[in-house]
Structure formats: structure tokens, C-alpha cells
């Protein structure tokens, strides 16, 4: 069979704005459930951490879902990484603020795993290797490095957002 006889590979289909909004509603609802559960308003299964960590996880999902909705409202395609300059100002600002909130919540979770009180249990799985318990110090160090990286991203995103929206030249 020659290469001419084969059917061309089709590009993946772009999700419609309605589909993106549906994903956003699902993520937001899940995040809101965890936030309300952490606050004690809804029943929650037993957690291995403090309520504020469950709340941060819920906030991450809520912010991610709202970000999906803002992207759909601004008609952003999958290949675009930022809201177009022609979009309404509220979509540009909310998109950035929601990204800062989601990243900050993830950084808070990583920071708690790294430096929070109490024992931690870590396991490592790789092909042909499985370690049930790795050192607590190694796990905390890895999470600590990850948290530092995410906090740097949060700071850079915040500074970039402030610069973008307070720039007097409009660039």
C-alpha cells in the first residue's frame, strides 16, 4: 500500500464555545462543592489534610472552570494563549486574575505539603521499580522545589498583569 492510498490524518476538531462552557461549568461545580464541603456546609469524605487544603483544591477547580467560561465568552481558540486585545477589558482582566488565583491555590497546596506540620508518606513508581516508602525529606524537598517554581510563576504573572493593565501607552 503506497502513501498515496492512505487517508490523510485529520486535525483534531476544535471544541465549540458551548462545549468549553460545559467543561467550565463542570469544573466550577466540582470546585464549589469542595470549597463548601471544606467550609462545613456540605458533607465531605474524610480528608488526610486540613480543611484549607481541600478549600484550595476546590478554588483551583473553580478558577479553572471560570477561566474556561471566560475563554469561551471571548471566543479564544485552542491555539491562542491569551485573550485578544480586541476583547472586552473585563475578559482580559478576569482571565489573568483567575489564572493568578488558580496558580496561587496550587502553590499553597505544594507549600503545605513541603513545610506543613505532621508526617508525610511518599511513594515512587517507575517502570520496573516500585518503592512503597521513600524518604519523607526527599518528598518534602521535591514538593518544596515545585512550590518555589509555582510561586515564582505567580509573582511573574502578577507583575506582568499589573504592567499590562497599568501601562499608560496601551501596549
Q: What is the b/e burial string over 90-102, where b = at least 16 CB atoms within 10 angstroms of the residue's CB? A: ebbebbbbbbbbb
The structural domains of the chain, with segments of one domain joined by +, span 17-166
Residue 1: what pLDDT?
Answer: 53
Residue 24 is predicted with a pLDDT of: 96
Sequence-distant (≥ 6) Cβ neighbours of residue 78 within 8 angstroms: 14, 15
> What percent of the chain has pLDDT above 70?
88
Q: pLDDT-derived band of residue 4, with 50, 70 and 90 as boundaries?
A: low
Residue 105 in this model has a pLDDT that exceeds 70: yes
Residue pair 61/30 in contact by the 8 Å Cβ criterion: yes
What is the rounded average pLDDT for all residues in the chain? 87
Residue 93, C-alpha cell as written in the block? 482582566
User: Position of cell 469544573?
Assistant: 27
For residue range 122-158, what is the model confidence (pLDDT) as tens digits? Answer: 777 777 766 655 678 888 999 999 999 999 999 999 9
8 Å CB contact between 158 and 100 = yes
Residue 51 has a pLDDT of 92
What are the tens digits of pLDDT across the range 72-91? 988 887 777 788 888 888 89
Higher-confidence position of 1 and 155 = 155
pLDDT confidence bin for 68, thresholds 50/70/90: very high
pTM of this structure: 0.81
The answer to which of 28-42, 54-68, 80-94, 97-111 has the lowest mean pLDDT is 80-94
Amino acid at each position: 500500500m503506497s502513501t498515496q492510498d492512505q487517508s490523510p490524518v485529520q486535525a483534531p476538531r476544535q471544541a465549540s464555545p458551548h462545549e468549553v462552557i460545559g467543561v467550565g461549568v463542570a469544573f466550577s461545580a466540582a470546585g464549589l462543592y469542595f470549597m463548601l464541603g471544606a467550609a462545613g456546609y456540605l458533607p465531605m469524605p474524610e480528608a488526610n489534610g486540613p480543611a484549607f487544603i481541600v478549600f484550595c483544591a476546590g478554588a483551583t477547580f473553580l478558577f479553572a472552570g471560570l477561566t474556561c467560561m471566560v475563554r469561551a465568552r471571548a471566543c479564544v481558540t485552542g491555539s491562542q494563549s491569551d485573550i485578544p486585545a480586541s476583547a472586552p477589558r473585563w475578559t482580559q482582566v478576569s482571565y489573568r486574575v483567575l489564572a493568578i488565583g488558580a496558580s496561587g491555590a496550587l502553590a499553597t497546596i505544594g507549600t503545605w505539603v513541603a513545610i506543613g506540620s505532621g508526617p508525610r508518606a511518599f511513594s515512587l513508581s517507575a517502570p520496573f521499580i516500585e518503592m512503597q516508602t521513600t524518604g519523607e525529606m526527599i518528598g518534602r524537598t521535591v514538593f518544596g522545589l515545585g512550590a518555589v517554581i509555582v510561586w515564582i510563576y505567580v509573582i511573574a504573572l502578577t507583575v506582568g498583569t499589573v504592567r499590562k493593565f497599568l501601562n499608560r501607552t496601551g501596549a
